[in-house]
Structure 1
Amino acid sequence: MKPGAATAQPSRQPRSRSTGPLPALALALAAALSFAALAPAAVNAQEAGTTPPAYVDRVLETGPQANQAPEGEPETINSEGWARSLRLDYSLSSQKGPSSSLSRAIQFSGYLDTPNYGALSVSGSLNSQQIDASGPDRGSSSSSGRGSWRVDQRAMPLDAGWYGDHSAGDISTASPPLARSLGRVFLPFIPISGLAGHWYRGEDIDLNAASGNPGLFTGIDVNGFSPAAGRVSSAGGQMQLAGQRNGLSRTEAAVEVVDAHNVSEAGSASGLSARSLWTALAWEGAAPWATTFTPGRTDPIPLRSGGLRVQGNWMESSSNGGDRAAGGWLDAAWRTDWLQNSGGIYYLQPNLRWGSSTMASDLKGAYWRADTSARRWNLGWTLEASASVSGLSGRSVFGNVYGRYSLDKRNMFGATLSLRNGNGSGQSVQLSWDHTSDWGQTQWRGNVQHAGAIRTLFAGVDQAWAVPLPFALSTSLGLEQSRSDSGVTASVRSWGLLAAYAPSSQLSVDASVRGAHGATSDALNANIGISWRYNLNWSLIGRYTEARGQDPQSAQIVSALTAATLEPVIPTPASRSLQLILRYEDRAGTVSAPLGGAPGVGAGSVNGTVFFDADSNGRRDASEAGTPNITVVLDRRFVARTDAQGRYEFPWVAAGAHVLQIQTDNVPLPWGPVQRDPVAVSVVVRSTTTTDFPLQRER
């Protein structure tokens, strides 16, 4: 191993599992990947004229080293042909809930890197489930199948400097970069089972198109996709109209249309048909009042000092032939020597929608956000005033102030004050204290809130314990007391645990358990697994999952615009399952571009978790849940999706420097990624580099 790689951790292998019927296209692509893994193509070696030398590990550290493969089975790979990897899982799962079931599933994932046709990523599962009914129908049985799958081809070279990205399966509609680059009003992505394409030439022009059956991403312990009747199609593009080579200014325009036809909708006897149009014009350059301006561009925010970016948006929609609505919003971002600012105005008529999806509507108002920071502190605030366009709801004014101060290397204090007056009035004060000691890292949290007719007091502590490797342990405890104006009181006790033990690259144990108990609520979410890697290719995994009740959802003091984008809470049925997985994985070939590195280099792996960072401290606490179905991209070429616990993994990544990025297609509003730009990671031979992505709520 190389010294100085702080992000490298003992190998832990998160498992991605999804169940369901898989189209013949996905099976054919899986077969193609299997064939590629066995065929000695030797394309790269022939182009170079020589066969790359076999990799020889040179240990730079002193002291005992873990065995990387069982005795007599050296860890070697076939370096001939295109770089490729394949993973196949066969699993048996027994589940008990409202009914009992026995599932058999074949799951697969793989990557294929070609020199002339971009990179191919594929994942999916084929599931067969036997269900035994309970209750009055006890004794009857039925069979079913469901699941989720996708195929991605990225960075495919085309003529005249063009590149193409193509996707098939359970994906989301695309949109131009301007659709989510600035401001507080976003176009929602629509989950579909179909096809999507994205074609671009540098930053000059960007085109997209998608079409498929709408649906909903589901899953308790595994990912799934439930398709609905109807069809959704979208198309659009973005173009740079003007720009200077020195980077001082640029003008861009974008347009996107979406058509939803006969989409089934809950509570409606007839299908929904709707069309929407969105256009935008953006300019970026030096602010007229700036005395200095640093050339260059950091997209989307922060801007350079002295920079200004303005974007105007217009949208129209019509549904079922007569229900028409329109909306417009103007956003700006600018940066002074001390403050980073953003502000805007919006006017959104009632019943405004984006195809088959709803979005913020029946609102008009304005907002201003600003923040500043120094070496030891940061301070920010938000002001927003809004009212109903139709007059059905009253006016509201929202404001908050938040900040953090680092007293020393061991102590940091944070506070947030939120106030809302008028419609949905309330107040809240949140306090936090982060303390580092010999025990590890501790965060004490407190919250006093008055929302509507309920007063709430919360106190909690999150602890990341300083345990020696190969152990990892985090715990969380919380107590919430609430009292209504009528005198009714209630309390909820919550707890959580994150643990892992990986004594070698062959054996790992992991656990994620959260629970809550109160007079009217009792919830538990558990995922516990053990993995034994017998040799380079074969592993045996056992996993227990349980979901019972709903995580406690406390009312929050947020602005009207944020509240309009809140996702509905979907109840999850109670379930309990025990799963046994037999895994085969293999890799071969020489890379032509990163996953990359030079021919013959060693490899490690990259994994992590995308999670809801509820306390905005940037790290995952035991009480914070992972986010499923989020797309993670490695080196802008290879695609993986988080599993039902929010975990992703790229196995067999060449040692060296790489970049990771998450796409916002399935990030539920009003949450957003903290790291919008690509994150640099370093992979060490035969080690696992762990990179987590926090999602934080709009303040």
Structure 2
Amino acid sequence: MKGAARPTRALVATRSAWLRAALAGLAATAATAALAQEAKPSAAAPKPDAPYVDRVMDSSALPEDDLEPATSEYNATGWPRSLRVDASVFSQRGASTTLSRAVGVGGFLDTPDHGALSINANLTQQRADESVSGLKASTWRIDQRAMPLDAGWRANHGAGDINTGSTSLARGIGRVFLPTTPIRGLGGQWHQGDAIDLNAAAGRTGLFNGLDLAGFQPSGGRVASAGGQFRLPTGTAGTRGNAAFQVFDGRGITEGTGSGSAQDTRAFFAATAWEGAAPWAESLAPGSTPVSERQGGLRLQGNAVRSTSSRSGDALGLWADAAWRTERWRNTAGVFRFEPNLRWGTAVLASDLQGAYWQADTSTRQWQAGFATELSDSVSRAGPGSLSTGRSAFLNLNGRYRLDTRNSIGAALNLRAITSPGQALLLSWDQTSDWGQTQWRSDFANTGGSRTTRFGVDQGWPVMFPASFNTSLAWERVAGGSAPGSGWIWGLLGSVSPVSQWSLDAALRGAQRSDGARSLNANIGARWLSASGWSLALRYTQARGQEPLSALVVSALTAATLSTVAATPTSRSVQLLLSYEGRAGSARAPLGGLPGSGAGTLGGTVFFDADANGRREASEAGVPGVTIMLDRRFATRTDAQGRYEFPAVAAGEHLIEISPDNVPLPWSPVLRDPVRTTLQVRQLTTVDFAVQRER
């Protein structure tokens, strides 16, 4: 019985606990209701909102920007400007030991009424071990861009080591264009929108030289050039016509390489162009791109050149080009006839050649395909047996297909028959993986009595930004010809910033053949950059032997413009470079921006894109001495490694473009039109330009 009584007491205790909890809950509810009733009158009459007051952040609480000069150090007076001063000591060993001292100056100045000014100058003094007196070399250039004049005119002026002027029609739309001539002198361009464009230049001819220290070597001749381009009235909406001319007079000039006997020469160029909707098209697609790039668009251009030389007589060149766009294909075609000994200034144009060509390409997001064909013959009918005379037929087929997001394959076939016959086949496989971006290549060529086989791999390794690392490795075998054998070709290209303000870069290319021949081209540098604008760089370069050249099977028109490959002298050098870079001006206005706006740095590389894939591989060299334009106002020139840089550029959209001047033939820039790029504040934006060989 005692045991039966325990559950009853527990149950009674539990009920009592629940009863007390319920009473407590009722009391809390009543209290809450009472408080709510008391709060109602105050909730019905809320306090009015306080008026808005701007709250300016205390500048003392902001973190300091290490990339900006302190207020006490910045000179806020005068026009926005930047200045770079270099002093270097350069020791080189080759056929002789030389010691060079160089001073370089570069800068930009943005004026309100006189346009934008750019300056690039280098003065070098060189002393060899066996000579008592030293040699001096220099290169300098001053540009004034976008100077406003009355009635909507703008003026561009240049002085120093520049190129003669040209017009857009002279640069052409097809495979033939008029080259410019390097001079040390004066030049100018005056244009009124796209209606009138005039140019003139005069000076002494010369050559840009120097592997590590840039220089300009006058060759003794004197030239003068003038020309213009005018917009013609068409009377039809959506169409446009232009006409252009250029005259050239040279006295005592030599060939482009500076060799040969001097001669006097004169030349005249004339061209006319029309663009609009093609007769077979229903309509012209709208857009801001050139008419020939839009569906239904057509552009026609006719050209004529006549040259007179005291050594080789008169010659006439005629050619016409057409560019049009269908729903799927982008086409360019033309006919040409060049008499023997045709020249323009110091350059020998394609001569003793006539024929026709047609090239087209099409692409989607998954695949790309194209072809190029050419039929040509000699004007003098000297018959077959040389690279530039005799009948010739050429065909190129190329394509690329994307298998998936990580793999794509490509192929290119070149065939040439009759004169200088040959065949070349390129196979490639691009792969993206956890190891980075890989390109496997196979090249087969049969030309000039030799058969070449090359297998290679180009690797872009995945490294953390801002570092980069690329390698190239290829095995080549040559059968027949004058230099049979096999060997390895390799390359390395990379840069890294291990700690703040320090950077390292290296570019190495080499080859070793079974016959014992070796080549090496090395460029290794280290740079320290301080927050106050000072920098110190140490660079080592070495060149030994001749780099192996790819076997080429190209058309007769391309072969006629091939330049002679100069032998690289054996040398080894060390350069120590001390630089200072600063900027000043009202409200710290950056290049191309308003006072007080943020700024970044724009730079990149111009390189020989030998495999035509649009990327720089470790085996591909940079192009020195090429002019790069920013917003068509500021100019700079690539260094010996093909690099360029615009410091302190306003954040936002800008136009960057490459000038075809000083790009060796038959190479030409892939991007002929200005490229739009967006800069971020305090960041480096990289835009590379590839130059590719004409097929």
Structure 2: stretches of 5+ with no match in the other structure: 1-55, 383-388
- DSSP-derived class of the 1:342 partner: strand
1:209-254 CA-to-partner distances (Å, cap 9, x unmatched) read 11111111112122221110120111100000124695x1011100
1:619-655 CA-to-partner distances (Å, cap 9, x unmatched) read 1110000001100011111000001110001112122
Query: 1:264 Cα deviation (Å)?
Result: 4.0
Say yes or no: does 1:167 pair with 2:158.
Answer: yes
The match for 2:168 is 177
Quick one: distance in 1 between partners of 2:311 and 2:111? Answer: 47
Quick one: distance in 2 between partners of 1:224 and 1:523? Answer: 25
Relative to structure 1, the CA distance from residue 339 to residue 76 in structure 2 (aligned partners, 3 Å threshold; closer, same or farther) is farther
1:494-515 CA-to-partner distances (Å, cap 9, x unmatched) read 1111111124552111111111
Match of 1:333 among 318, 323, 331: 323
The match for 1:292 is 283
- DSSP-derived class of the 1:561 partner: helix
The answer (yes or no) to whether the contact 2:409–2:430 under 8 Å persists in 1 is yes
Quick one: distance in 2 between partners of 1:132 and 1:617? Answer: 45
Query: 1:349 Cα deviation (Å)?
Result: 0.3
Match of 1:684 among 674, 680, 684: 680
Quick one: distance in 2 between partners of 1:74 and 1:154? Answer: 30
Query: 1:669 Cα deviation (Å)?
Result: 1.9
Say yes or no: does 1:564 pair with 2:560.
Answer: yes
Say yes or no: does 1:646 pair with 2:642.
Answer: yes
Report the residue type matching 1:115 in the other structure.
P
The match for 2:619 is 623
Relative to structure 1, the CA distance from residue 415 to residue 269 in structure 2 (aligned partners, 3 Å threshold; closer, same or farther) is closer
Quick one: distance in 1 between partners of 2:196 and 2:332? Answer: 26
The answer (yes or no) to whether the contact 1:68–1:75 under 8 Å persists in 2 is no
Say yes or no: does 1:253 pair with 2:243.
Answer: yes
1:399-430 CA-to-partner distances (Å, cap 9, x unmatched) read 01001111111011110011000111000110
Quick one: distance in 1 between partners of 2:361 and 2:242? Answer: 27
Match of 1:499 among 471, 494, 501: 494
The answer (yes or no) to whether the contact 2:103–2:124 under 8 Å persists in 1 is yes
Say yes or no: does 1:240 pair with 2:231.
Answer: yes
Alignment RMSD, CA only?
2.5
Query: 1:58 Cα deviation (Å)?
Result: 11
Structure index of larger Rg: 2
The answer (yes or no) to whether the contact 1:55–1:600 under 8 Å persists in 2 is no
Report the residue type matching 1:79 in the other structure.
A
The match for 1:602 is 598
The answer (yes or no) to whether the contact 2:254–2:346 under 8 Å persists in 1 is no
The match for 2:376 is 386
Say yes or no: does 1:129 pair with 2:119.
Answer: no
Say yes or no: does 1:511 pair with 2:502.
Answer: no
Relative to structure 1, the CA distance from residue 243 to residue 505 in structure 2 (aligned partners, 3 Å threshold; closer, same or farther) is farther
Q: Compare 360-369 and 268-277 and name the one that shifted more.
A: 268-277
The match for 1:14 is none
Quick one: distance in 2 between partners of 1:405 and 1:77? Answer: 54
The answer (yes or no) to whether the contact 1:169–1:194 under 8 Å persists in 2 is yes
Quick one: distance in 2 between partners of 1:221 and 1:171? Answer: 20
1:294-334 CA-to-partner distances (Å, cap 9, x unmatched) read 245634x8521111111111111110177011010011111
User: Superposition pairs for residues 445-456 of structure 1, below 5 Å?
Assistant: 445-456=441-452
The answer (yes or no) to whether the contact 1:527–1:543 under 8 Å persists in 2 is yes
The match for 1:104 is 101
Say yes or no: does 1:423 pair with 2:419.
Answer: yes
The match for 2:344 is 354
TM-score by length of 2: 0.87
1:252-311 CA-to-partner distances (Å, cap 9, x unmatched) read 100001111012458987521000111001010111111222245634x85211111111
Query: 1:677 Cα deviation (Å)?
Result: 1.7
1:430-488 CA-to-partner distances (Å, cap 9, x unmatched) read 011110001110011111110021000011111110012342111111111010179x7
Quick one: distance in 1 between partners of 2:467 and 2:60? Answer: 26
The answer (yes or no) to whether the contact 1:75–1:536 under 8 Å persists in 2 is no
- DSSP-derived class of the 1:595 partner: coil
The answer (yes or no) to whether the contact 1:501–1:508 under 8 Å persists in 2 is yes
**Structure with higher helix content:** 2
Relative to structure 1, the CA distance from residue 355 to residue 471 in structure 2 (aligned partners, 3 Å threshold; closer, same or farther) is closer
Q: Compare 272-281 and 663-672 and name the one that shifted more.
A: 663-672
Report the residue type matching 2:93 in the other structure.
K
The answer (yes or no) to whether the contact 2:590–2:598 under 8 Å persists in 1 is no
Quick one: distance in 2 between partners of 1:167 and 1:105? Answer: 23
Question: How many residues are matched?
Answer: 632
- DSSP-derived class of the 2:78 partner: strand
Quick one: distance in 2 between partners of 1:611 and 1:257? Answer: 32
Quick one: distance in 1 between partners of 2:405 and 2:84? Answer: 44
Q: 1 or 2 for the larger relative contact order (CA 8 Å, sep ≥6)?
A: 1
The match for 2:668 is 672
Quick one: distance in 2 between partners of 1:608 and 1:302? Answer: 29
Say yes or no: does 1:147 pair with 2:138.
Answer: yes
Quick one: distance in 2 between partners of 1:76 and 1:653? Answer: 20
Quick one: distance in 2 between partners of 1:627 and 1:591? Answer: 37
The match for 1:532 is 528
Quick one: distance in 1 between partners of 2:240 and 2:444? Answer: 46
Relative to structure 1, the CA distance from residue 592 to residue 668 in structure 2 (aligned partners, 3 Å threshold; closer, same or farther) is farther
Query: 1:521 Cα deviation (Å)?
Result: 3.5
Report the residue type matching 2:251 in the other structure.
H
Quick one: distance in 2 between partners of 1:434 and 1:578? Answer: 38
The answer (yes or no) to whether the contact 2:122–2:215 under 8 Å persists in 1 is no
Query: 1:576 Cα deviation (Å)?
Result: 1.2
Report the residue type matching 2:354 in the other structure.
K
Q: Compare 535-544 and 408-417 and name the one that shifted more.
A: 535-544
1:348-368 CA-to-partner distances (Å, cap 9, x unmatched) read 000010022211010000001
The match for 1:217 is 208
1:122-169 CA-to-partner distances (Å, cap 9, x unmatched) read 011111111113xxxxxx443101132111110011111110111111
Relative to structure 1, the CA distance from residue 591 to residue 190 in structure 2 (aligned partners, 3 Å threshold; closer, same or farther) is farther
Query: 1:575 Cα deviation (Å)?
Result: 1.4
The match for 2:37 is none
- DSSP-derived class of the 1:178 partner: helix
Quick one: distance in 2 between partners of 1:489 and 1:294? Answer: 55
The match for 1:483 is 479
Quick one: distance in 2 between partners of 1:375 and 1:131? Answer: 58
The answer (yes or no) to whether the contact 2:502–2:527 under 8 Å persists in 1 is yes
Quick one: distance in 2 between partners of 1:169 and 1:695? Answer: 26
1:529-579 CA-to-partner distances (Å, cap 9, x unmatched) read 111113322111111111222221133000000111111101121111111
Match of 1:115 among 106, 109, 112: 112
Quick one: distance in 1 between partners of 2:334 and 2:663? Answer: 23
Quick one: distance in 2 between partners of 1:75 and 1:397? Answer: 70
Relative to structure 1, the CA distance from residue 269 to residue 314 in structure 2 (aligned partners, 3 Å threshold; closer, same or farther) is closer
TM-score by length of 1: 0.86
Report the residue type matching 2:551 in the other structure.
A
The match for 2:86 is 89
- DSSP-derived class of the 1:343 partner: strand
Query: 1:528 Cα deviation (Å)?
Result: 1.0
Relative to structure 1, the CA distance from residue 333 to residue 610 in structure 2 (aligned partners, 3 Å threshold; closer, same or farther) is same
Quick one: distance in 2 between partners of 1:322 and 1:492? Answer: 44
The answer (yes or no) to whether the contact 2:367–2:401 under 8 Å persists in 1 is yes
The answer (yes or no) to whether the contact 1:378–1:405 under 8 Å persists in 2 is yes
1:90-130 CA-to-partner distances (Å, cap 9, x unmatched) read 11111111111111111110000001100000011111111
Relative to structure 1, the CA distance from residue 149 to residue 55 in structure 2 (aligned partners, 3 Å threshold; closer, same or farther) is farther
- DSSP-derived class of the 1:82 partner: coil
Quick one: distance in 1 between partners of 2:94 and 2:106? Answer: 29
1:584-635 CA-to-partner distances (Å, cap 9, x unmatched) read 1110124899722232123221111000011111111100000011000111
